[in-house]
C-alpha cells in the first residue's frame, strides 16, 4: 500500500518495500546497551533554548500528533552537545504503546518505556527544513523517554518537559518513520520524564483513522530497534 502505518499490512516490516533505505547503515531507533557505550569527554553539554511563543499548531498527522514551531529565526534552538552549528526546532511529537509495557522507539538494555518524545531540529547551515532533511548532518532529534507515574502534568511547555539532567547518548541515525532518511544525529537523554496514566489514556484515545472512517485508536506507533551495523554510541556522562 502506498501509505505506511503501524498495522499488520503497512507496519515497520513492510516499509522496506517503498523505502529500501529501511535496511540502511544508520537506521533508527536502536537498543542502547549502556555497558557497550563509550564515554566521550570531548562531548559538550547540550544547549537547548525554547521560546513557547514559537509554538504554532498541533496536528494529528495520521501516525502521531505533532506540535509545530515557527522556525524563521534562531529563537528555539539546539546547539552544543554532539553537533556543531545551530539547529532550529521544527516540531515535537510522541510514540507510545497500547499498554505501558511498550511504546518507546529507543530501548535501554531491551527495556521499553511507555512512550518517547521527539524534539526535531534542523541545521541552519541549510536554507530550510526540507533541504536539511536529506543531508547526513541535517537533523538533530532529542529523544526523551516517558515513564509512568502518578503526577500532575502542568501545561505543556518545552522548558518544563525536559528532565533535570541533560546527560545523553548520541549516535548517527535516521528518521524512524518513512522516508527513514539517514540524516539524524540522535541525542537520547538518559533521564526520563514522568507522565500520568491519564496522559497515557489521552494519547491512546487519539485516532489513526480520519473523520468518517472506522475508528482505529492511535497506539503502538513505534518502530522496533534496528541493527547497529558497526556504529558507536557515545555518552556525555561518566
Ligand atoms: C522532508 O520531510 C521528511 C519527513 C519530515 N518528517 C516527518 C516525520 N514522520 C518525522 C519522523 C521523525 S522521528 N520519529 O525520526 O523523530 S522526524 C520527522 S520529520 O522530519 O518532521
Ligand atoms: Zn519520532
Do residues 180 and 35 make contact, with C-beta atoms less than 8 angstroms apart? no
Which ligand has the shortest distance to the CA of 175? 1
How far does residue 93's CA lie from ligand 1's centre (Å)? 10
Closest among 137, 85, 89 to 117, alpha carbons compared:
89
The secondary structure of 129-195, three-state, reads: HHHHCCCCCCEEEEEEEEEECCCCCCCCCHHHHCCCCCCEEEEEECCCCCCCCCCEEEEEECCCEEE
Cell of 61: 498527522
Which ligand has the shortest distance to the CA of 29? 1
| Residue nearest atom 1 in ligand 1 by C-alpha distance | 130
Looking from the CA of residue 63, the nearest atom of ligand 1 is 9
The residues carrying an active-site annotation are 63, 126
The per-residue pLDDT for range 83-130, each reduced to its tens digit, is 999 999 999 999 999 999 999 999 999 999 999 999 999 999 999 999
Q: For residue 238, how many other CB atoms are within 10 A of its CB?
A: 6
Is the shortest distance between the CB of 141 and ligand 1 below 6 Å? yes
Complex ipTM: 0.96
Average pLDDT over residues 31-42: 98
Q: Does pLDDT of 214 surpass 90? A: yes
Instruction: State the pLDDT at residue 156.
Output: 54
Amino acid at each position: 500500500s502506498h501509505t505506511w502505518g503501524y498495522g499488520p499490512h503497512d507496519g515497520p516490516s513492510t516499509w522496506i518495500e517503498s523505502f529500501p533505505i529501511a535496511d540502511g547503515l544508520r537506521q533508527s531507533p536502536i537498543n542502547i546497551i549502556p555497558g557497550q557505550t563509550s564515554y566521550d569527554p570531548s562531548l559538550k553539554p547540550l544547549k537547548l533554548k525554547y521560546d513557547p511563543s514559537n509554538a504554532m499548531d498541533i496536528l494529528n498527522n495520521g501516525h502521531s500528533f505533532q506540535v509545530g514551531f515557527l522556525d524563521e529565526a534562531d529563537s528555539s534552538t539546539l546547539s552544543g552537545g554532539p553537533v556543531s552549528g545551530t539547529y532550529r526546532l521544527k516540531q515535537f511529537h510522541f510514540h507510545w504503546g497500547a499498554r505501558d509495557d511498550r511504546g518507546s522507539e529507543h530501548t535501554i538494555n531491551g527495556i521499553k518505556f511507555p512512550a518517547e518524545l521527539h524534539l526535531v531540529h534542523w541545521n541552519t547551515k541549510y536554507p530550510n527544513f526540507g533541504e536539511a532533511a536529506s543531508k547526513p548532518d541535517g537533523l538533530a532529534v532529542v529523544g526523551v523517554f516517558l515513564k509512568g507515574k502518578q503526577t500532575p502534568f502542568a501545561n505543556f511547555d518545552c522548558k518544563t518537559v525536559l528532565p533535570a539532567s541533560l546527560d545523553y547518548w548520541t549516535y548517527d541515525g535516521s528518521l524512524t518513520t518513512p522516508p527513514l532518511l539517514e540524516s539524524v544525529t540522535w541525542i537520547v537523554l538518559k533521564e526520563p520524564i514522568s507522565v500520568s496514566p491519564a496522559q497515557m489514556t489521552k494519547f491512546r484515545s487519539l485516532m489513526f483513522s480520519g473523520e468518517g472512517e472506522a475508528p482505529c485508536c492511535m497506539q503502538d506507533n513505534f518502530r522496533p530497534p534496528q541493527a547497529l551495523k558497526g556504529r558507536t554510541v557515545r555518552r556525555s556522562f561518566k
